[in-house]
Amino acid sequence: MRIFSRLYDLALRWSRHPHAPRYLAALSFAESSFFPVPPDVMLAPMALAMPRRAWRLAGLTTLASVAGGMLGYLIGAFAFELVAPWLRAAGYWPQYERAAAWFGQWGVWVVFLAGFTPIPYKIFTISAGVVGMAFAPFVAASLVGRGARFYLVAGLIRWGGEPMERALRRHVDTLGYLAVVLAVIVYFAVS
């Protein structure tokens, strides 16, 4: 079944749309506070389609993601009682509790790691607001973590160019299924 190949082709078509940078910014913003789809799925094909703009796209993704993270922080600080039922219903409650505990143990490093890794960043943005983390270090750690992640994605895609696109197209289904299996393993390991 070639589900990921079809999704990859669809993402490539969207990445060539005249409004694609706006869509990328909106996706990046939303993912940092409430939306489940990471911006990498749009950034990578856009960097392939427009390699000369890869760095600018990574910067746009970073800034929009950090702005969305600030919204997540404000939600945690001022409206947590409104989103707590959603966190429970969406199955994010155990991750939220774990994130809140990690803040007490590791502080700002948690935001940096959540920004760089595939851990749901939105959980940490909301948790940072709930626990009252200092805002400036939160923003700084978000900029560094998110920036490192998105510039790495854009750089790898730009560096690899057409050969990487051909290899990615050839192996996208295998990589997609491996990512699903890895996500399930991580989910059960941290649950």
Count of structural domains within the chain? 1
The predicted pLDDT at position 188 comes to 64
Rounded CA separation 171/165 (Å): 10
The predicted pLDDT at position 182 comes to 62
> Per residue in 23-74, pLDDT tens?
899 989 998 887 767 788 788 888 888 888 999 999 999 999 999 999 999 9
> Per residue in 120-170, pLDDT tens?
788 889 889 988 899 999 999 999 999 999 999 899 888 887 787 777 778
> Per residue in 13-25, pLDDT tens?
777 788 989 989 9
> Per residue in 81-101, pLDDT tens?
888 898 888 888 888 888 888
Secondary structure of the chain in the HEC alphabet?
CCHHHHHHHHHHHHHCCCCHHHHHHHHHHHHCCCCCCCCHHHHHHHHHHCHHHHHHHHHHHHHHHHHHHHHHHHHHHHCHHHHHHHHHHCCCHHHHHHHHHHHHHHCHHHHHHHHHCCCCHHHHHHHHHHHCCCHHHHHHHHHHHHHHHHHHHHHHHHHHHHHHHHHHHHHHHHHHHHHHHHHHHHHHHHC
pLDDT classification of 180: cutoffs 50, 70, 90: low
Domain membership of residue 86 as a residue range: 3-190
Q: What's at 76, amino acid-wise?
A: G
pLDDT classification of 184: cutoffs 50, 70, 90: low
pLDDT classification of 118: cutoffs 50, 70, 90: confident
Residue 186 has pLDDT above 70, yes or no: no
Q: Kindly report the pTM of this predicted structure.
A: 0.78
Count Cβ atoms within 10 A of the Cβ of residue 62 and give its class: 0-12 exposed, 13-18 middle, 19 or more buried: buried
Rounded CA separation 159/156 (Å): 5
The predicted pLDDT at position 136 comes to 96
A 10 A CB-CB count for 97 gives 13
The predicted pLDDT at position 49 comes to 81
